[in-house]
Amino acid sequence: MKRSQRMSAVFLALVLGLCCQYVVSQDTAPDQSSGKKANIVVLATGGTIAGAAATGTQSGYTSGKVTIDQMLDSVPKIRELANLKGEQVANVGSQDISFDIMLKLAKRINELAASPDVDGIVVTHGTDTMEETAFFLNLTVKTEKPVVLVGSMRPSTAVSADGPLNLYNAVAVAADPKAKGRGVLVVMNDQIQGAHSLTKTSTTSVETFQSPLRGVVGVTAYGKNDFYNNPSWPHTTQTEFDISNVTKLPRVDVVYADADMPPDLIGASVAKGAKGIVIAGVGNGNMNKGSLQAAEQASKGGVIVVRSSRVPTGTVARNVEVKDDEMGFVASGELNPQKARILLSLALLKPHTPEQIQEMFNKY
Ligand code: ASP
C-alpha cells in the first residue's frame, strides 16, 4: 500500500470509529456525570400502564394485570439507564387508589429516600387520579431526591402502547441529578410536569396531562432530559406536613355545583361527618343562593368550606362575587377541586382556623 493510501485508510478508520461511538452514545443512557449508574427503585401501584386486553386494538382492558418485573423486562435497554429494583405496592386501577395507599406510598418513599443506596424513585400509577397522588406526595415526602410518577393511556397489550417509553423516560428523569429538588414530577408523553399544576385533560389522548397555568417543567426524549422551569410552589422538604404517624385522613367531600344545584348536598355531607367541604364551584368558585346559605351554615358550624372551581383553568380569588370574609370561606387559588381536597385533608390533621387554612392555600 502506498503512503497516501495508508493515510486514507487510517483516516477512514478514525472517522468510522468516531461515527460508531456517536451512534452508541446516541443509543444509550443519559449523562451519568459521576460515571456511576444511579440506583432507582420503581414502586408499582397498577393502572393502565400495567393493564392488559385480549387484543392489541380493543379499547376495553383491565388495569393492574401486569407485575412490575414483567413491566421492567418489557422495556428494551431500561436497565442500562440505572440499577433498577421493583416493588409492588398495590395493583389497582387508579380509580381505586385510596388515602390508605397514598399514605403507604409516602411512607415507603420516605423510608427509601433516607437510604444512601437509593438515588431516585419512580412510581407507576394509573392516570385517572395520578394528579391527586402526585400532589399528595409533593406535600408529604421529605426528600430532595427525584420522585417521578409515570403511567400510560394505552394498556401494555395495545398497538403503539405508550407505557414502555414513558417508563424508560421516567427512569431517565429519576436518575438525572438535575431532577433533584424540583418536587414530585410526572413524566408522560415526553413531558416533565410538576405535581402542583398538572391535570388530566383528555379521557383518551396520550397528551392528556397539561399544566395550564404554569407550563411544563421540561421535556425528555429517549432518556435525554431538558429542564426549563422549577415548580414555583413549596414542596417536599419545604412543607409542614408530617405523615409519619398518620394512619387516617379526616373526611373531606367535594360537592359539585351546577345550575339549580340542590343545596341539601352540603347539609348531607356535614351530616355524614365531613370535616371539610370543597365546592367544585361554577365560574370563580360560585354556587346558587341556597347552596351559599348552606355552605355558610356549615362553615359557622366548624366545617371548613373551600371554594374551588369546576372550570379547567384560572384561579379562585377571595371576595370576588362571594363574601368570603363574612361567610368564613377559603378560596382555593390555583388548586382544582381534587387537589384542594388533598391539601384540605392534610391541613385538617391539626386544628386550624379558616384564616390559617387560607394561608396554606396561598402558600401551597
Ligand atoms: N383507569 C385507569 C387508571 O387510572 C386509566 C389509566 O391508567 O390511564 O388506572
Amino acid letter, residue 121: I
Q: Is the CB of 151 under 6 A from ligand 1?
A: yes
- C-alpha grid cell, residue 86: 421493583
DSSP result, 51-66: -B-SSSS-S--BSS-S
Q: Is the CB of 163 under 6 A from ligand 1?
A: no
* Interatomic CA distance for residues 360 and 330, integer angstroms: 10
164 Cα: distance to centroid of ligand 1 (angstroms): 15
**What amino acid positions are annotated as catalytic residues?**
48
50 Cα: distance to centroid of ligand 1 (angstroms): 9
Eight-class DSSP state of 313:
S
- C-alpha grid cell, residue 363: 402558600
Task: Give the number of the atom of ligand 1 that is nearest the alpha carbon of residue 130.
Answer: 4
- What pLDDT was estimated at residue 282? 98
Task: Give the number of the atom of ligand 1 that is nearest the alpha carbon of residue 151.
Answer: 7
Q: Is the CB of 48 under 6 A from ligand 1?
A: yes
59 Cα: distance to centroid of ligand 1 (angstroms): 13
Tell me the best of 45, 48, 124 to mutate to test the pocket of ligand 1, counting ligand atoms within 8 Å of each CB and taking the most.
48
What does pTM read for this prediction? 0.90
Task: Give the number of the atom of ligand 1 that is nearest the alpha carbon of residue 46.
Answer: 9
- What pLDDT was estimated at residue 17? 39
- What pLDDT was estimated at residue 58? 84
44 Cα: distance to centroid of ligand 1 (angstroms): 13
Q: Is the CB of 47 under 6 A from ligand 1?
A: yes
3-state secondary structure of 85: strand
User: 275: buried, middle or exposed (CB in 10 Å: 19+, 13-18, 0-12)?
Assistant: middle
Phi, psi of 77 (to 5 degrees): 65, 5
- What pLDDT was estimated at residue 14? 39
Q: Is the CB of 162 under 6 A from ligand 1?
A: no
pLDDT, tens digit only, all 364 positions of the chain:
445 454 444 444 433 333 333 333 344 444 455 679 999 999 999 999 988 888 888 888 887 788 899 999 999 999 999 999 999 999 999 999 999 999 999 999 999 999 999 999 999 999 999 999 999 999 999 999 999 999 999 998 899 999 999 999 999 999 999 999 999 999 999 999 999 999 999 999 999 999 999 999 999 999 999 999 998 899 999 999 999 999 999 999 999 999 999 999 999 999 999 999 999 999 999 999 999 999 999 999 999 999 999 999 999 999 999 999 999 999 999 999 999 999 999 999 999 999 999 999 999 9
- What pLDDT was estimated at residue 258? 98
Q: Is the CB of 64 under 6 A from ligand 1?
A: no
* Cβ(91)–Cβ(44) below 8 Å: yes
Q: Is the CB of 131 under 6 A from ligand 1?
A: no
Q: Is the CB of 127 under 6 A from ligand 1?
A: yes
Tell me the best of 49, 62, 92, 127 to mutate to test the pocket of ligand 1, counting ligand atoms within 8 Å of each CB and taking the most.
127
Q: Whose CA is nearest to atom 1 of ligand 1?
A: 93
* Cβ(87)–Cβ(43) below 8 Å: yes
* Cβ(309)–Cβ(340) below 8 Å: no
Tell me the best of 59, 97, 128 to mutate to test the pocket of ligand 1, counting ligand atoms within 8 Å of each CB and taking the most.
128
- What pLDDT was estimated at residue 18? 39
- What pLDDT was estimated at residue 11? 40
